Chains A and B, each alone.
Chain A
């Protein structure tokens, strides 16, 4: 190999290393900050509070308090997790609402919103969130929520279906 060839080869080697470094650095910098970075950090920290309280009531305990389907309405259970149960309400085969019961022990802020509730349904404090959600708090613990999934299912419908839950039975759950 001549002296000239050696120099050209040497430069190629340096270029390759520089290129690799550039790519590596570029790779490290491609992750844009996210509005959820903080919560990701908080929820994965060593002593992070788990999302679901250890003593949260099992979702299976809630099922019996859900209203049954009737006339054109069909109820289909969709989720049953610790502290949470949900069913879809369908009318003529189309989804019109979601029915859910959750144990606010896992999320105290959810119960806190009822502290100044001015309205009530079946004697339980009730709150609306936005234009599609209505909920009540039973026994200062269990939130029963109905969420509209069709424009035809309005607040009156949501209230009616909250009343169809066995709220008295749910209030006796320990």
Chain B
């Protein structure tokens, strides 16, 4: 049986590799991401509410909303979890012989297979599309125009913004370098629907990507990445993000060897479940906001 929303939020970790990796990105958006865990904690933080009866009522409405399958919240959760698992599976297959919590992974680098650049680029694009699709499942398509939608997307903050920062840093800059946007677009332009169908990450989430067939879905992925690439380029420029400073900050938390960048990407795929973690936080926040507004 799948977990309830309050269990998922109650069970969010307060430490571990995912949290360390996300804290390592604090330099990009200082103080904007707080690792909010615990369901009633989140209600209090999001609403400022301290009345216990009100907290109970808000929580109950949020639970009801999450459990109404027609509302799409469970689909969004499934997307966040599935894309993390798919990314992890690739790395796991390569390190089947190694078991351990050791975050100093120099020891098992030899067992990690770095993903070829093309696969990494496809994964980056699919993760981005998952973000957009999950966003629409959670929020609908707000407003009456494309401009309104982009404004809503451009209004990302907190855990949603941290997810995008992690996408740019962990799935873009580190494995693909500063030209990651160009590589993503280039890979998409040269891809056939057949290529897409062979990608494990795509296979795991394809049912929820808009489009009647792989060709249509490829088109949607391409358009989505294209439309967000401007924002991403601007963000990287504005924050002065480079492979060096991202790695440098990650090194404060996780031991890394600079000549093993490809392996860093694989390690991050396996160990850092940032989509599930921040996605759960985003979903909880949105449910609670809606619950308060409806009561």
Contact = CB atoms under 8 A, between A and B. Distances in A.
Interface stretch (A10-18, A71-79, A114-122, A152-160): A71-79
A39 B64 contact: yes
Interface string A36-66: 1001100110001011100000011001100
A80 B143 contact: yes
Q: Is the interface of B mostly helix, strand, loop or mixed?
A: helix
A63 B142 CA distance: 9
B141 A80 contact: yes
B142 A79 contact: yes
A59 B140 contact: yes
Interface residues of B, number: 38
Most chain A CB within 10 A, of B60, B143, B289, is at: B143
Most chain A CB within 10 A, of B6, B61, B294, B295, is at: B294
A91 interface: no
A74 to B, nearest CB: 9
B185 to A, nearest CB: 28
B60 A36 contact: yes
Contacts of A129: 54, 295
Contacts of A87: 142
A12 to B, nearest CB: 22
A44 B67 contact: yes
Interface in B38-71: 39-40, 48-49, 51, 54, 56, 59-61, 63-65, 67-68, 70-71
Contact of B60 (A39, A52, A82, A143): A39
A50 B51 contact: no
Contacts of A88: 155
Contact of A110 (B4, B65, B143, B295): B295
Interface of A: 31, 34-36, 39-40, 43-44, 48, 50-52, 59-60, 63-64, 76-82, 84-88, 98, 100, 102, 106-107, 109-110, 129-130, 132-133, 143, 145, 147
28 contacts: A34-B7, A34-B10, A35-B59, A40-B67, A43-B68, A51-B71, A52-B65, A52-B68, A52-B70, A59-B140, A60-B140, A64-B144, A77-B142, A77-B151, A79-B290, A80-B139, A80-B141, A81-B139, A81-B140, A81-B290, A84-B290, A84-B294, A86-B142, A86-B290, A87-B142, A100-B294, A130-B49, A130-B54
What are the nearest 6 A-B pairs in CB distance? A77-B142, A100-B293, A77-B143, A80-B140, A51-B68, A51-B64
Interface of B: 4, 6-7, 10, 39-40, 48-49, 51, 54, 56, 59-61, 63-65, 67-68, 70-71, 139-144, 148, 151-152, 155, 286, 289-290, 292-295
